[in-house]
Structure 1
Amino acid sequence: MKSRTIAVENSTWNNIGDAFYQLSIQRFFSKAFPDATVVSMDGPIERAFKLGTEKFRSKPFEADYYTNADHYVLSGPIIGRNFMRIYAPRIKSYLASGRSYSLISVRCSVTGSALEEVREFLEQHPPRAIYTRDPSSLEKLQGLAKMATAGPCFAFFVRMLSGIPEVKPSSPYLAVSVYTSREPRITCSASSGLSGATVEWQSQPNARFWRYLQHFEWLNRYQTRHEVHGYEFVRPVQGHTPFPNKLFGKPNAYISYNPLCYLGVLKSSEAVISDRVHAGVTGLSFGRPVNIRQIDGRFDLFSGLPLQADGPFWRLDPDFITASHDRTLEWVKKIDIS
């Protein structure tokens, strides 16, 4: 009988990119600690859902507070402006009950006095391990855990997950997932292929205006097939929304509740073009060329990687991912989960 339980935060999938690294983290801990029971745990409700004003709601049941485990694994870009309000109370409850926790594949976006507050809290309530998905976050959190390192986001290791389907329509396709602006214009000649393509991003609209303008994207004409090479355009929608016009306004829109099915669509594409960082990460994991538009600081997770230029695309040597995976697994095995 397995004597210890590890709970991995693995539920905030309204942005399906969270599922990519959370599923991978859960797999790592299952591999690293075969004698432990590794379970999924809900993330904070506020991380995945809009609660609205207190006038129109009752207090929800937050199951993560009551998930029984010996060690808790928290992940993602959580060390931001809401960390002290949302995550600090949970960490206090773990430690008060004699349990432990780790921060894995995290990003720290706070600076100045907010960073000082986070550092003071973590000094008083230290994690067993910190793994950041970019070097700058590690620099901010240095000295707060006995084990601390930076490395690729765990989403780079999704190709090791089991259960990912192959998606093979009659024509090869490009996976185009864009949500902060209009899609780029993609052109390529008959002789040069994707390496000689151009990807022309349009100017970035004001974020506040775009919240409204995107409701009218269905009025625009979007390509369903590239006129030269015959590539189809498949459009993964990574953020769930109650508005059908945003979900299905573009031709060949793809949405699912199953992250493994998303991974199948990205894996089976010829290239990934997106402003979603985790669409690019997973595309690289599967050896696909990717073109990712830089929107904000989350783009840092590509820093320090040996990316290779291929026309307007990036590629990443599969051997680098394999070596990083093996090195990271050995690091995880050393975490004290007692």
Structure 2
Amino acid sequence: MNLFDINQLDVDKREVLPFSLDCVEDINGHLCINGKVAIPITQINRVFDRTKVINVVDEGQESLGLIYFTSSKSSFNLENLTEGEFIAYLTEVSSELFLMEEYRFLYDYIVLDKSSLNRYMEKFHNTSAIWGQFLHKEQDRLRSHIREVSQIVAVSDIELPTMYHNEIAIRLIKEPFAFERFLKNYHLIELLFDYDLVNNIKQLDDDLKGIGKLLSQYSSKEFNRLIYVLGGRINSIPSLEVQLNNIDSFMSKAKVIFYDYGKDYNPLKIEDLENINLQGGFSFEVVKNVVNRNMDFEKYKVFLIKITCYWIYRIRCCIAHNKIGEFIFDSSDEEFVSNFGECLIEEVIKQCFKRVN
């Protein structure tokens, strides 16, 4: 409600309130009740214990206000509200919903003392994401890209080899943004580097030279390790072709990421990618015609795996590094990561973890 709404409350409604309204005023557009102002928190880090009230202090340990996790309340009972929660309630509720028993808070709140309001708005409000891990402005809530999906194919015989893979898979589905999900997916593959190394060492027993050779290979570039891991696990080339051909919808973005910000180990020339796309996309006949007329199917398979590894690895580096020399993603690039990069790495993961009978 606003100042006008509260001033219009009749005596009967005021009498049922758990706290009296001794002083109600408007301060620069903020409703101030009994010397306190409730500022909505639109989003906050999940790390906090939402059953507790958090005291917010400045660098001199002077209290600025208290954070109330009001949006966590499963049921509304006016009599059980603290004064801070009550002020948040009056700030948020509309006059139409006022005193409705089924009301649910939309937001959490920081409730400030009147004396702290101006200082908070000037010095702390716009930077709360950094020092407090929460946001105030609705427009600061980035919307994650929604991928249109009409069908999900259940894949049999998927087997995660370690408890670490299982934990990452669980955390993966809790991530709202494609960038973080992509990294989690990449971690699933990355763990296979170590898993394969341990298993290969076990098979060598006390063959120190063999172990030394394995460790030497393991210490080589991560991109090469990625090719090694996928090379022995990718079996369905038609399924891989489908995902690679999704690049058709993102060619301009792909040229920037994979070529303008590309690396010298890119296995596919830009003109070849353009010609493959013009001739209908990735298939054995098209790639053979464009890249190498002497290519047999086994070489084609290796070639596709290298392209897949390059595209996955470059997307991973752009997300993870955020530095000069890498393409830096922003929210406008999430559709590319979600609809192309994430779909590609998800197909790779299904093949990597599908048990071969």
Q: Which has the higher strand share?
A: 1
Q: Which has the higher helix share?
A: 2
Whether these two folds match at TM > 0.5 is no
What TM-score bracket applies, with the shorter chain setting the length?
A: under 0.3
Give the TM-score, by structure 1 length. 0.24
Give the TM-score, by structure 2 length. 0.23
**Which one has the largest radius of gyration?**
2
